């Protein structure tokens, strides 16, 4: 087999080309190729310099993440190769372009000189996988840019542009030429002026401007801001070790890296990395499915969701028209969008020109004829079946042939809405999450008759607007809200049994959930939640149990809509939630009404089990019904849409970490102790069978 690394000659210069499409990742083959190329270079004294460059769209863009899970994984072959490159007695130059990330940047740092195309991005994003740069990035980067900035870059994982890298001395020269030509010109100039090797490992980290307690404070800060991520602490320690002699720092980095590589947190985050990539693949959909062009978008309804949805398209440069029923609603919607953009500008994230350019892409109208030319129209009107059916019928008539009609419904039957348009093949669910311009998740709901190219187009469009798209089949609440329903059910039963919202939220927030269920619904709106439950009741979906979601219905009746009215499950001191005696009174009254026994000692472990185990159980049902294509999709939905902690890898990954027999056992325990007249604690057949066979839910694949 041809090696992805080749060595050729250009005069006195040895050209080392890395060609491992698509992004020249550091596969074992690339590392072996580097070794062979260095051997050949060393053996030929007629070469005066070595020039490394990447073929295709980028220099090396990163390491081989899949190999991290191998039991005998070691950074040694690559790190040893880097040491050999740096030790070479003739100058070594890296010609950079594209995305020089992770192992790619570590390779560049082992070279003596670096020339880059002005559009190059450089960074060490390993923290996003719960690890640290384990190939001397934590040792070489501080020696170039200082410990303070190196820590900032490694701890955030953010990339910097070539111009900034040039100012920092990370890059020696910028060149507009093609990478190979730029590298040759730079190397020839080096040779002409007689420059020799220049090794970063021989430098010391500048410490003059470093506060004496810098690392102590950085460690405290990491523990406070990222209590669930051991990578945050280890990164500080590794950068601190760069102040030691290089070999000692190298040993410290290796130890701190290995600790993270085998940690459950990093395994969970690596699982999500792969799950995210897999989620965009749709089984049975040919890769060459023709996409429908989407050059203009229409959004019906400029409320909470419609406005945020429209911003996504304006951000991506796609002209968008917003249609409302009244001028007041339209003005309010567009006003909120402008205020959002201006707030970003005030924080320095957008320029005034960008704000105006985006606003110029947004147009308002009171006439739905304005949607006639749009390639995609998304309805985001109130969550009401009769209204949505009317709206869909109208869209079916107004939208041009070939236009995609999408619904942002949270829970309603997409197939019913699709039929209402009269052209169900054009219809798909696009379920955005609030705030729609911020949240990364997009559930794409595939109807029974959704055309393959409609699905493929929407998945591609999701990428254009920076969303993680996960496909769901049609069912109440799709993947996310269907699972959230059982979670909210138990939150409310726990409340009626005597737990306060703060106790309920506290139990899951202690695991790393961004927000417990009570704070979550108070923010989304008790009214929104209650109306969904009421609509579901009308459609015959609720269990015959008057105590089911009794709290949310009562709160709605009392006008306690959550944060927006100053009280919901909590009372609000400004935006700060505080436990409200009124909630306790309402919960006690409902408990008495429904014959629910009260306790004042519900332990946090019970709260966690009662919130999360039914949710996991519902996830298993979603898999066996074929609503989700794969277990990782469920994890992506919860991490990208519901603030589920990434270091636990999502509910399915977490279930496997706990062990399915344990989960099945506790579900059975609650069925016994609480009674199971409505099937709340019935174990999904899939979960039961995997638990009995000692298998994992994550490994399950649809037949």
Catalytic residue numbers read 106, 126
Q: Is residue 285 part of the contact set for ligand NAD (CB under 6 A)?
A: no
Cβ atoms of 200 and 86 closer than 8 Å: yes
Instruction: Supply the minimum distance, in Å, between the C-beta of residue 323 and ligand NAD.
Output: 5
Q: Is residue 380 part of the contact set for ligand NAD (CB under 6 A)?
A: yes
Nearer to ligand NAD, 123 or 529 (CB): 529
Is the preceding omega at residue 22 within 30 degrees of 0, hence cis?
A: yes
Q: Please name the residues in contact with 167: beta carbons below 8 A apart, sequence gap of 6 or more.
A: none
Nearer to ligand NAD, 328 or 597 (CB): 328
What whole-number distance in Å separates Cα of residue 137 and Cα of residue 421? Answer: 56
Q: Please name the residues in contact with 473: beta carbons below 8 A apart, sequence gap of 6 or more.
A: 445, 446, 625, 626, 627, 628
Q: Is residue 381 part of the contact set for ligand NAD (CB under 6 A)?
A: yes
Q: Is residue 383 part of the contact set for ligand NAD (CB under 6 A)?
A: yes
Nearer to ligand NAD, 64 or 324 (CB): 324
- Chosen residue from 135, 409, 457, 472 binding ligand NAD by CB under 6 A: 409
Instruction: Supply the minimum distance, in Å, between the C-beta of residue 155 and ligand NAD.
Output: 32
Cβ atoms of 90 and 197 closer than 8 Å: yes
- Chosen residue from 26, 302, 552, 664 binding ligand NAD by CB under 6 A: 302
Cβ atoms of 115 and 173 closer than 8 Å: yes
Instruction: Supply the minimum distance, in Å, between the C-beta of residue 171 and ligand NAD.
Output: 44
Q: What x/- string results for residues 666 through 685 when contact with ligand NAD is judged by CB under 6 A?
A: --------------------
Q: Is residue 289 part of the contact set for ligand NAD (CB under 6 A)?
A: no
Instruction: Supply the minimum distance, in Å, between the C-beta of residue 668 and ligand NAD.
Output: 34
Instruction: Supply the minimum distance, in Å, between the C-beta of residue 687 and ligand NAD.
Output: 28
- Chosen residue from 232, 521, 524, 655 binding ligand NAD by CB under 6 A: 524
Segment 414-433, which members bind ligand NAD (CB under 6 A)?
432-433
Length of the chain: 703
Nearer to ligand NAD, 469 or 528 (CB): 528
DSSP 399: S
Instruction: Supply the minimum distance, in Å, between the C-beta of residue 289 and ligand NAD.
Output: 27
Helix (H, G, I), strand (E, B) or coil at 395: helix
DSSP 92: E
What whole-number distance in Å separates Cα of residue 299 and Cα of residue 310? Answer: 7
Q: Is residue 305 part of the contact set for ligand NAD (CB under 6 A)?
A: yes
Question: What's the token pair of residue 467?
Answer: 């969303």
Helix axes of 480-497 and 501-509: crossing angle, nearest 10 degrees: 130
Question: What's the token pair of residue 561?
Answer: 């809509």
What whole-number distance in Å separates Cα of residue 146 and Cα of residue 625? Answer: 54
Segment 430-489, which members bind ligand NAD (CB under 6 A)?
432-434
What whole-number distance in Å separates Cα of residue 386 and Cα of residue 266? Answer: 47
Number of residues that bind ligand NAD (CB under 6 A): 24
Nearer to ligand NAD, 235 or 414 (CB): 414
Cβ atoms of 322 and 334 closer than 8 Å: yes
What whole-number distance in Å separates Cα of residue 390 and Cα of residue 431? Answer: 19
Using the rule CB under 6 A, give the single segment among 178-186, 197-205, 277-285, 296-304 that binds ligand NAD: 296-304
Whether the CA torsion 200, 203, 209, 213 is positive or negative: it is: positive
Nearer to ligand NAD, 131 or 526 (CB): 526
- Chosen residue from 102, 183, 306, 568 binding ligand NAD by CB under 6 A: 306
Separation in Å, CA 85 to CA 81, 149, 341, 539: 6, 25, 48, 68
Helix axes of 264-279 and 651-658: crossing angle, nearest 10 degrees: 140
Cβ atoms of 135 and 258 closer than 8 Å: no
CA 587 to chain centre: 36
Nearer to ligand NAD, 320 or 409 (CB): 409
Q: Is residue 301 part of the contact set for ligand NAD (CB under 6 A)?
A: yes
Nearer to ligand NAD, 45 or 369 (CB): 369
Is the preceding omega at residue 154 within 30 degrees of 0, hence cis?
A: no
Using the rule CB under 6 A, give the single segment among 20-28, 148-156, 177-185, 301-309 that binds ligand NAD: 301-309
Q: What x/- string results for residues 166 through 205 when contact with ligand NAD is judged by CB under 6 A?
A: ----------------------------------------
Using the rule CB under 6 A, give the single segment among 243-251, 374-382, 460-468, 673-681 that binds ligand NAD: 374-382
Nearer to ligand NAD, 104 or 307 (CB): 307
Cβ atoms of 516 and 484 closer than 8 Å: no
Instruction: Supply the minimum distance, in Å, between the C-beta of residue 521 and ligand NAD.
Output: 10
Q: Can you tell me which residue has the tokens 């280890």?
A: 234
Strand order in the sheet with 5-10: 5-10, 13-18, 49-54, 92-96, 113-116, 173-174
Instruction: Supply the minimum distance, in Å, between the C-beta of residue 321 and ligand NAD.
Output: 12
Nearer to ligand NAD, 120 or 408 (CB): 408
Q: What x/- string results for residues 308 through 337 when contact with ligand NAD is judged by CB under 6 A?
A: ---------------xxx---x--------
Q: Is residue 504 part of the contact set for ligand NAD (CB under 6 A)?
A: no
Instruction: Supply the minimum distance, in Å, between the C-beta of residue 342 and ligand NAD.
Output: 21
Instruction: Supply the minimum distance, in Å, between the C-beta of residue 399 and ligand NAD.
Output: 14
Cβ atoms of 53 and 92 closer than 8 Å: no
Residue whose Cβ sits closest to ligand NAD: 303
Q: Is residue 372 part of the contact set for ligand NAD (CB under 6 A)?
A: no
Parallel, antiparallel, or unpaired: how do β-strands 121-123 and 159-161 relate? antiparallel
Count the neighbouring beta carbons within 10 Å of the beta carbon of residue 398. 20
- Chosen residue from 3, 304, 344, 682 binding ligand NAD by CB under 6 A: 304
Instruction: Supply the minimum distance, in Å, between the C-beta of residue 423 and ligand NAD.
Output: 19
Cβ atoms of 102 and 62 closer than 8 Å: yes
What whole-number distance in Å separates Cα of residue 483 and Cα of residue 620? Answer: 10
Segment 559-588, which members bind ligand NAD (CB under 6 A)?
none
- Chosen residue from 204, 207, 382, 463 binding ligand NAD by CB under 6 A: 382
Cβ atoms of 300 and 378 closer than 8 Å: yes
For residue 62, give the nearest of 146, 1, 123, 141 by alpha carbon: 123
Using the rule CB under 6 A, give the single segment among 215-223, 287-295, 304-312, 450-458 that binds ligand NAD: 304-312
- Chosen residue from 239, 391, 430, 495 binding ligand NAD by CB under 6 A: 391
Nearer to ligand NAD, 81 or 410 (CB): 410
Question: What's the token pair of residue 132?
Answer: 């640290």
Nearer to ligand NAD, 329 or 425 (CB): 329
CA 361 to chain centre: 27
- Chosen residue from 29, 264, 303, 319 binding ligand NAD by CB under 6 A: 303
Q: Which residues bind ligand NAD (CB under 6 A)?
A: 300-306, 323-325, 329, 380-383, 391, 408-410, 432-434, 524, 528
């Amino acid at each position: 087999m041809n090696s992805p690394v080749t060595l050729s000659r250009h005069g006195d210069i040895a050209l080392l080309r890395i060609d491992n499409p698509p992004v020249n990742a550091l596969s074992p083959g690339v590392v072996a190729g580097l070794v062979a190329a260095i051997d050949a270079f060393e053996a030929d004294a007629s070469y005066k310099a070595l020039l490394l460059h990447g073929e295709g769209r980028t220099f090396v863009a990163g390491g081989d993440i899949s190999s991290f899970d191998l039991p005998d994984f070691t950074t040694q072959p690559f790190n040893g190769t880097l040491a050999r490159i740096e030790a070479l007695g003739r100058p070594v130059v890296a010609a950079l372009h594209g995305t020089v990330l992770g192992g790619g940047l570590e390779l560049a740092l082992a070279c003596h000189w670096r020339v880059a195309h002005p559009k190059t991005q450089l960074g060490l994003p390993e923290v996003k996988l719960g690890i640290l740069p384990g190939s001397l990035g934590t040792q070489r980067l501080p020696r170039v840019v200082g410990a303070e900035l190196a820590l900032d870059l490694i701890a955030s994982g953010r990339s910097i542009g070539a111009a900034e890298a040039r100012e920092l001395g990370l890059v020696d020269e910028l060149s507009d030429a093609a990478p190979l030509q730029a590298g040759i010109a730079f190397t020839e100039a080096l040779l002409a002026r007689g420059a020799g090797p220049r090794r970063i490992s021989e430098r010391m980290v500048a410490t003059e401007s470093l506060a004496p307690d810098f690392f102590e404070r950085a460690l405290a800060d990491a523990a406070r801001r990222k209590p669930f991520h051991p990578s945050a602490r280890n990164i500080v320690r590794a950068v601190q070790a760069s102040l030691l002699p290089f070999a000692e720092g190298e040993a410290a980095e290796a130890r701190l890296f290995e600790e993270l590589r085998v940690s459950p947190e990093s395994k969970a985050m690596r699982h999500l990395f792969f799950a995210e990539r897999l989620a965009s693949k749709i089984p049975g959909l040919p890769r060459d499915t023709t996409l429908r062009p989407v050059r203009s978008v229409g959004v019906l309804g400029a409320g909470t969701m419609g406005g945020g949805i429209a911003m996504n398209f304006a951000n991506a440069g796609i002209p968008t028209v917003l249609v409302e029923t009244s001028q007041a609603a339209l003005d309010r919607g567009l006003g909120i969008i402008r205020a959002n953009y201006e707030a970003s500008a005030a924080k320095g994230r957008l320029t005034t020109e960008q704000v105006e350019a985006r606003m110029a892409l947004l147009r308002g109208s009171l006439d739905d004829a304005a949607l006639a030319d749009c390639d995609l129209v998304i309805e985001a009107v109130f969550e009401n079946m009769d209204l949505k059916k009317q709206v869909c019928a109208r869209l079916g008539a107004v939208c041009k042939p070939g236009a995609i009609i999408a619904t942002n419904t949270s829970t309603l039957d997409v197939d019913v809405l699709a039929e209402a348009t009269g052209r169900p093949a054009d219809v798909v669910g696009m379920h955005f999450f609030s705030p729609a311009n911020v949240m990364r998740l997009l559930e794409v709901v595939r109807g029974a008759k959704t055309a393959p190219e409609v699905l493929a187009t929407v998945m591609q469009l999701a990428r254009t607007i920076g969303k993680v798209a996960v496909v769901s089949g049609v069912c109440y609440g799709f993947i996310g809200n269907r699972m959230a329903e059982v979670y909210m059910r138990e939150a409310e039963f726990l409340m009626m049994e005597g737990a306060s919202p703060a106790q309920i939220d506290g139990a899951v927030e202690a695991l790393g959930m961004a927000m417990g269920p009570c704070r979550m619904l108070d923010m989304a709106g008790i009214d929104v939640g209650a109306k969904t439950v009421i609509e579901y009741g009308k459609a015959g979906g609720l269990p015959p149990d008057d105590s089911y979601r009794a709290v949310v219905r009562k709160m709605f009746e009392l006008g306690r809509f959550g944060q927006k009215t100053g009280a919901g499950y909590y009372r609000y001191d400004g935006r700060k939630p505080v436990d409200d005696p009124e909630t306790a009174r309402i919960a006690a009254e409902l408990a008495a009404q429904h014959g629910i026994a009260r306790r004042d000692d519900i332990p946090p472990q019970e709260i966690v089990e009662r919130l999360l185990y039914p949710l996991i159980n519902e996830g298993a049902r979603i898999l066996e019904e074929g609503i989700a294509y794969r277990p990782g999709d469920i994890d992506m939905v919860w991490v990208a849409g519901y603030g589920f902690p990434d270091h636990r890898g999502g509910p399915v990954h977490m279930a496997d970490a706990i062990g399915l027999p344990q989960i099945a056992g506790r579900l059975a325990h609650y069925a016994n102790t609480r009674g199971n007249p409505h099937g709340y604690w019935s174990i999904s057949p899939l979960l039961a069978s995997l638990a009995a066979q000692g298998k994992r839910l994550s490994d399950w694949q649809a037949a």
